[in-house]
């Protein structure tokens, strides 16, 4: 049997707390991912009286991480922001329909359970997921996001511990992969054993087994048990945000930058990319096989790169003098109601040029090629803020 990649999906949902996976029910369109579990296997180099390198491999610390690429639209980006930053109180504009504003600041985010369907065949579930780095760039005129995520654990495939025959209401997993093999499953999940499906009604508190309604199953010890893919469902798809609708306001401070983020006063650039890094700690932790693994931000940082036509020496001067600059980047979508657009608005309070190069490209224009460090601003008491304007009331975040 072959499987087609395109039959896969990404589903997400915020968790109420750490180490409490949920069934993800919010399906997000995405481009690609390379999120994997790395068991850090290495050759077993212990001496066994032979002249060959190893009889077996040994498992190391498990790591669950990788990148997810998606186009930025006002619906999809909300969940990646909520996985990357701390959401504040949602407000609305009072219009019809309501356009909501969700502010995000650089603090520990919600934890998510996310699932990837592998060609519609089986599911890779990760829980306690947070975004490590969130990159925003431009891809052929479209605003693209790349989220590097880290997770506390995964559930995809396990083995049956003891054979099953006749009508049964529970099954036990073996401990080949984990001492707590049911960790990651929740009531309502559907498991597949051979050609039989069971819907979990309970996960044992010792995380060794699950219960379900009576089912006739014939299976042998060691048989694979895997998580069934969902039938994906999507909410109203929002248009992807486009580079041609990105307005960049620049100024000596964030307030000035905001007033300049208009068609008349904008700073136009040829290329722009932004990276926000939570520098997540995902170190192995004693007891994290059953308990939570700390996936939390350490010192956060960010960078901004811009390529724009050289027009005068002002940017060179700012680089020479290490002057503060502020930016408001408005990524405008379509009107949500008669007055308010859907939008991703990024406020950068204190950016300073690390490099400002004018490279020689014969036959071409002179460009300012710039890399900014995003710094904490003492006056505004923040380094970065993201505001998302969309039609979601925020209860899913």
Partner 1 sequence: MEYKNKTKKDLVLMGYGKVKAGATIKTNKKINNANFEEVSVKKEEEKIIKDKEIKI
Sign of the alpha-carbon dihedral angle for 205, 201, 7, 74: negative
Quote the Cα angle for 276-282-283, to 5°.
140
Backbone angles phi, psi at 363, to 5 degrees: 85, 5
CB of 27 to partner 1, least distance (A): 9
CB of 161 to partner 1, least distance (A): 25
Q: Which letter, b or e, does each residue of 267-295 get, where b requires 16 or more Cβ atoms within 10 Å of its Cβ?
A: bebeebbbbbbbebebeeeeebbeebbeb
CB of 203 to partner 1, least distance (A): 16
Question: Cα(136)–Cα(76) distance, rounded to whole angstroms?
Answer: 13
- Return the structure tokens found at 56: 């077996």
Question: Cα(9)–Cα(273) distance, rounded to whole angstroms?
Answer: 26
CB of 31 to partner 1, least distance (A): 18
Question: Cα(386)–Cα(87) distance, rounded to whole angstroms?
Answer: 9
CB of 366 to partner 1, least distance (A): 49
Residues that bind partner 1 (CB under 8 A): 23, 25, 188, 190, 197, 228-236
User: Quick one: 140 or 231, whose CB is closer to partner 1?
Assistant: 231
User: Quick one: 235 or 379, whose CB is closer to partner 1?
Assistant: 235
Question: Cα(229)–Cα(24) distance, rounded to whole angstroms?
Answer: 11
Which uninterrupted H or E stretch holds 352? strand 341-357
CB of 310 to partner 1, least distance (A): 48
User: Quick one: 70 or 372, whose CB is closer to partner 1?
Assistant: 70
User: Quick one: 125 or 150, whose CB is closer to partner 1?
Assistant: 125
User: Quick one: 79 or 318, whose CB is closer to partner 1?
Assistant: 79
User: Quick one: 2 or 231, whose CB is closer to partner 1?
Assistant: 231
């Amino acid at each position: 049997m072959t499987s087609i990649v395109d039959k896969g999906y990404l589903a997400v949902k915020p968790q109420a707390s750490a180490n409490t996976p949920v069934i993800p029910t919010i399906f997000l369109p995405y481009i690609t991912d390379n999120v994997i579990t790395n068991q850090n296997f290495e050759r077993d180099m212990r001496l066994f009286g032979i002249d060959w390198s190893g009889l077996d491999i040994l498992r190391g610390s498990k790591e669950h991480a990788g990148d997810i690429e998606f186009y930025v639209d006002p619906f999809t980006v909300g969940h990646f922001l909520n996985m990357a930053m701390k959401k504040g109180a949602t407000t609305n504009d009072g219009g019809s329909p309501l356009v909501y504003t969700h502010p995000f600041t650089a603090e520990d985010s919600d934890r998510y359970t996310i699932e990837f369907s592998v060609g519609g065949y089986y599911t890779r579930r990760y829980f306690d997921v947070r975004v490590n780095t969130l990159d925003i760039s431009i891809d052929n005129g479209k605003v693209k996001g790349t989220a590097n995520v880290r997770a506390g654990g995964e559930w995809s495939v396990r083995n049956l511990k003891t054979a099953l025959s006749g009508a049964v209401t529970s099954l036990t997993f073996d401990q080949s992969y984990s001492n707590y093999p049911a960790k990651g499953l929740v009531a309502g999940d559907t498991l597949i054993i051979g050609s039989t499906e069971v819907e979990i009604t309970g996960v044992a508190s010792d995380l060794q087994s699950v219960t379900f309604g009576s089912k006739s199953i014939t299976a042998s010890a060691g048989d694979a048990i895997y998580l069934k893919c969902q039938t994906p469902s999507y909410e109203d798809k929002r248009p992807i945000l486009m580079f041609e609708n990105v307005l960049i306001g620049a100024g000596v401070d964030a307030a000035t930058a905001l007033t300049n983020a208009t068609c008349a006063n904008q700073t136009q650039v040829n290329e722009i990319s932004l990276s926000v890094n939570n520098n997540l700690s995902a170190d192995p932790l004693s007891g994290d096989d059953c308990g939570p693994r700390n996936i939390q931000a350490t010192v956060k940082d960010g960078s901004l790169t811009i390529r724009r036509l050289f027009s005068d020496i002002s940017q060179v001067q700012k680089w020479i003098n290490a002057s503060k600059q502020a930016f408001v980047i408005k990524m405008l979508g379509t009107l949500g109601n008669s007055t308010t657009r859907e939008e991703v608005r990024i406020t950068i309070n204190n950016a300073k040029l690390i490099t400002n190069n004018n490279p020689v490209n014969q036959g071409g224009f002179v460009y300012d090629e710039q890399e900014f460090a995003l710094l904490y601003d003492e006056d505004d008491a923040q380094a970065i803020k993201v505001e998302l304007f969309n039609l979601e009331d925020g209860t899913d975040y």
